Structure 1
Amino acid sequence: MNYECVQGDITQQDDIDAIVNAANAQLKSGGGVAGAIHRAAGEQLEQATRSLAPIEPGEAVITKAFDLPNRYVIHCLGPVYGEDEPSDELLADCYRNALNVADEHELASIAFPALSTGAFGYPFADATRVALQTVKAHSSKLKHVETIRFVLFSDSDYEHYQKALSEHELI
């Protein structure tokens, strides 16, 4: 398995088969990652998600990527920290389910943002730990996914992930 960490915009990962959307339950545009993905993908994305909504915390669904440079968008609803419990399990489900959806569609690569860490209030260090432990434990079960990339927007988030990836012996 190839694990990568980059600083940048999740909507600009043109060498990745599927990007993961930090979705809301209704799969509509919003702020943060969801807003950026919906704006970049165009109006067709929201139309494509209508029949799939609502989704539950931990669930993942897939749509075409439309105007994005990727083939697909995998939409995950992360837990709202302090409300959706058990939050660690639900967040881990997001990563597992997104990886499973990618593998079922025979995709070779997937890019994740830091799920649930924005408006959903998940503490960044805790969310990073859950993400990396889950991905490391689950990746051996995948048949098609070869590259898992984490895309972080800010300098500090990127630096934190780089350090955590090294500590988890993923890079």
Structure 2
Amino acid sequence: MDIRLVLGDITEQRVDALVNAANSSLLGGGGVDGAIHRRGGPEILAECRALRAGRYGGGLPVGQAVATTAGRLPARWVIHTVGPVYSLREDRSALLASCHVEALRVADELGARSVAFPAISTGAYGWPVEAAARIALGAVRNTPTNVEYVSFVLFDTRAYAAFAEACQGTVKEA
């Protein structure tokens, strides 16, 4: 699998599937989640509401993933995953890794060959970006998948630098 780092806006990525750092309600929010819902349009929200009316009536659990249309985004699908809130008292690293593993599992079910990830849980959920980068890259590298191309789309230079440090020259920079 080809893994790349991109400094930019995830909503502009031309890939099969964008991963959304969603909240459990699936109904939009701030950060990446809000940007994806705003740019993707009402089609994404309509499918998220249908998911909430059915299988995910209580919300999407942390570490799991589910797909919807990408609406008006330049992708085919959005894979929503709920990252864990960072905690000093409890190690939630396995849940953060699960977000990446489950997103790749859903991508495989969809037949996606290219996937763009944000830096899950590093915004409002408070995960230190350096630790999140190590967990994310490790999970993606160690997950058997048919996905051929993964990009980590980092919104700012601090996150980009943390991911670049975590990959130590083993991925391509775009």
Q: Secondary structure at the match of 1:63?
A: strand
Distance 1:94 1:37 in 2: 17
Structure 1 residue ranges (4+ consecutive) displaced by more than 3 angstroms after TM superposition: 83-86
Q: Partner residue of 1:101?
A: 106
Change in Cα spacing, 1:108 to 1:119, as seen in structure 2 (3 Å) is same
SS at match of 1:115: coil
If the length of structure 1 is used for normalisation, what is the TM-score?
0.92
Provide the secondary structure at the position in 2 that maps to 1:93: helix
The reply to whether residue 90 of structure 1 matches residue 103 of structure 2 is no
- For structure 2, the residue ranges without an aligned partner over 5 or more in a row are 53-58
Instruction: Give aligned pairs, total.
Output: 166
| Amino acid aligned to 2:148 | E
TM-score when normalising by structure 2: 0.90
CA contact (8 A) 2:43 2:69 kept: no
1:159 partner amino acid: A
Q: Indicate which of 63, 78, 83 corresponds to 2:83.
A: 78
Match of 1:48 in 2: 47
Q: Which amino acid in the other structure matches residue 25 of structure 1? A: S
| Alignment-mate amino acid for residue 145 of structure 1 | V
Maintained 8 Å contact 2:5/2:171? no
Q: How does 1:13-92 map to 2 (within 5 A)?
A: 13-14=13-14, 16-53=15-52, 54-82=59-87, 86-92=91-97
- Going from structure 1 to structure 2, the CA distance change for 1:83 and 1:98 (only over 3 Å counts) comes to farther
User: Percent of aligned positions with the same letter in both sequences?
Assistant: 46
Secondary structure (helix, strand or coil) at the match of 1:92 reads helix
Gaps spanning 5+ residues in structure 1: where? none
Letter in 2 for 1:75: H
Instruction: Write the letter of the residue equivalent to 1:146.
Output: E
Residue identity in the other structure for 2:8: G
2:23 maps to amino acid: N
**Amino acid in structure 1 at the alignment position of 2:104:** L
Aligned to 2:142: 137
Contact kept in structure 2, 1:136 and 1:170, CA below 8 Å: no
Indicate the residue corresponding to 1:114 in structure 2: 119
CA contact (8 A) 1:59 1:77 kept: yes
CA distance in 2, matches of 1:111, 1:157: 15
Q: Which amino acid aligns with 1:24?
A: N
